Amino acid sequence: MSDITGIHHITAISGDAQENLDFYAGVLGMRLVKKSVNQDDPGTYHLFYADADGHPGTDLTFFPFRFSAPGKLGVGLGIEISLAIPDGSIDYWRQRLSEHGAKLGEEEVRRGERVLTLSDPHGQHLALVETADERQFTPWPRSPVPAEKQVRGLHAVRVWERDLALTASFLIDVLEFSSYGEENGWHRYGVGGGGSGKHIEIRELPDTPRGAWGVGTMHHVAWRVADEGVELKMRERVAKAHRRPTEVIDRFWFKSVYFLEPGGVLFELATEGPGFTADEEPEHLGEQLVLPPWLEPQRDAIESALPALRPAAEVKG
């Protein structure tokens, strides 16, 4: 059994920060639980959206690089981020998203679950997946979306790979995932039964060019581990597989190890804690710009370089 318990968070690259905030908080109704900066490039925001308590597994984050070029979909890149929605809510979401000008795609059925595909304002491919799977989730009472319809968290990530076998063997032999078979060309691998929030789906496209990061593309997927002890154990396994993991990096709200899986997708191992309440009270998450302690001496310069952000335009309905 894998020491990974599911997806911790997924990070993507967006354009304008205000447009990103208005869509994910104002239209999708997720809570902005942390307004911070990219710790490796403090000249841009790092925005974190999640459930009311910021549980790991509900957390979708963005680097808003407003002057960057669009990304290029291709192998070695995350192609779609899927979000869990309650069973029976897809009709609500289709109507809500249509009313607010979202770019809707087709409705599908994947492994018996209804799915609504769409793109966010900057081109990121998303899917809302109806699921009855048990989730760690706290509704956000100030969301414009009723509690019984709210996004429950991250459902899965889809990626394209040039060579399925290379990535599959790494997932199974090193990260101790299980295979859950193929449907319509998508191969599922996961942990803990492979349910909502606990799997990745891969499509093999050997003749497709390599993807490139940019606005509208996924940057990395972080896998959840209990604590730093487990993280170090997993890091050793990754290192023995010659994937050259980073040292443990303190992100203040969790600790991280990064590496490229064999097909080129950037993976992260992220610990459960300390969590987003380490530096803010639960009722005030996401209201102010917060910086990790080592960036506090640069606060004035950082704030002056960032565009102003107003609260999301909360769209009822």
DSSP 231: H
- Rounded Cα distance between 46 and 63, Å, is 5
Phi and psi, residue 150, nearest 5° = -65, 150
298-313 per-position pLDDT tens digit: 999 999 999 999 999 7
Are the CB atoms for 222 and 269 separated by under 8 Å?
Answer: yes
pLDDT-derived band at 285 (thresholds 50, 70, 90) equals very high
53-99 per-position pLDDT tens digit: 999 999 999 999 988 999 999 999 999 999 999 999 999 999 999 99
Q: What is the pLDDT of residue 252?
A: 93
202-251 per-position pLDDT tens digit: 999 999 999 999 999 999 999 999 999 999 999 999 999 999 999 999 99
- Rounded Cα distance between 161 and 263, Å, is 6
104-138 per-position pLDDT tens digit: 998 999 999 999 999 999 999 999 999 999 999 99
The set of residues, in sequence order, having a beta carbon less than 8 Å from that of 124 and lying 6+ positions away, is 12, 14, 81, 216, 217, 218
* pLDDT higher than threshold 60 for residue 314: no
Q: What is the pLDDT of residue 210?
A: 98
User: What is the average pLDDT score of the chain?
Assistant: 96
Q: What is the pLDDT of residue 66?
A: 83
Structural domain boundaries of the chain? 6-305
Q: What is the pLDDT of residue 313?
A: 73
Is 62 buried (19+), middle (13-18) or exposed (0-12) by CB count in 10 A?
buried
Q: What is the pLDDT of residue 205?
A: 98
At residue 302's C-alpha, the angle toward residues 277 and 271, to 5°, is: 35
Q: What is the pLDDT of residue 317?
A: 53
* pLDDT higher than threshold 90 for residue 315: no
Is 79 buried (19+), middle (13-18) or exposed (0-12) by CB count in 10 A?
buried
Q: What is the mean pLDDT of residues 251-263?
A: 97
Q: Which CATH superfamily is domain 6-305 in?
A: 2,3-Dihydroxybiphenyl 1,2-Dioxygenase, domain 1 (3.10.180.10)
